[in-house]
Amino acid sequence: MDTVITLRGVEREYRMGRTKMTALRGVTAEFRRGEFTAIAGPSGSGKTTLLNLIGCIDKPDRGRVVVCGQDVTDTPLHRLAALRNRYFGFVFQSFNLIPDLSAYENVEFPVLLGDLPASERRARVEGLLERVGLKDHRRHRPHELSGGQRQRVAIARALVAQPLAVLADEPTANLDSRTGAEVLDLMHELNESAGVTFLFSTHDQQIVRKARRVLALHDGEVREDHSRAAVQVETTSAPAALLERSA
């Protein structure tokens, strides 16, 4: 499997008044296409900060971030948005859906202003909604959906632009245990059947147990990087393969 994200000696600091806080300390890691990886650790361990650096939401104070062979460390902030849109889909614990838009419109939003033909855009959105089990809820707005259904909309939205990887920040935190397990099973199935790459920031033991790789952080440092036996997955054009299965 190809290496798609590389971190080399990454460090990130924050200032709170006169106090300097170190969130990450010399983190070095590689992530490969098709991974299902949990970045785990207690609150304050640096896992969300690490996910933000991987997803070009933030920049390191020291070290290098390389995405698909391109060193993006020194890329100006105004250009990082284009890199995020090109390479990453995001799933957040608070769903981050647009309240006035339907499920269909929320999924469509990331590709609405691009040059994708309307027919292909429609096929992607409808295929993904069917794949996540919400074909019959396409016209529902977020307040008309359950928490699990809203997270399924968020997963479909993260996939619609066919990203390099889906970055999920505590995706089960606002769900009850049963619904969280169902959403996790969906993401795991997408990973195994269609090769969708998932990187999680989490303290949820359900995700940690399901992950094939666990990167454990403590006080901003990698304390353990454990890979379980790899499962072979299809790694070519994951969302396209996903849509073929839902056609």
Task: Please write the tens of the pLDDT for every residue from 91-141.
Answer: 998 999 999 999 999 999 999 988 899 999 999 999 999 999 999 999 999
pTM: 0.88
User: pLDDT at residue 143 above 50?
Assistant: yes
Domain tally for the chain? 1
pLDDT at position 85: 87
pLDDT at position 138: 96
Residue 11 pairs with which residues in a beta bridge?
62
The alpha carbon of residue 60 and the mean position of all alpha carbons in its chain are separated, in whole angstroms, by: 19
Q: Identify the CATH number of the domain in which residue 30 sits.
A: 3.40.50.300
- Phi and psi at 70, nearest 5°, equal -105, 120
- Phi and psi at 87, nearest 5°, equal -105, -25
Q: How far apart are CA 17 and CA 178, in angstroms?
A: 42
Tokens found for residue 202: 């989490």
Task: Report the b/e string of 169-202 with b at 16+ CB within 10 A.
Answer: bbbbeebeeebbbbbbebbbebbbebbbbbbbbb
- 85 contacts: CB under 8 Å, gap ≥ 6: 110, 161
Q: How many CB atoms lie within 10 A of CB 146?
A: 11
pLDDT band with cut points at 50, 70 and 90 for residue 229: low
Mean pLDDT of the residues in the chain: 89
pLDDT tens-digit readout, 191-211: 998 888 999 999 899 999 999
**Domain that includes residue 232, residue range:** 3-246
Percent of the chain with pLDDT over 90: 76
Opening angle at CA 171, ends 166 and 176, nearest 5:
150
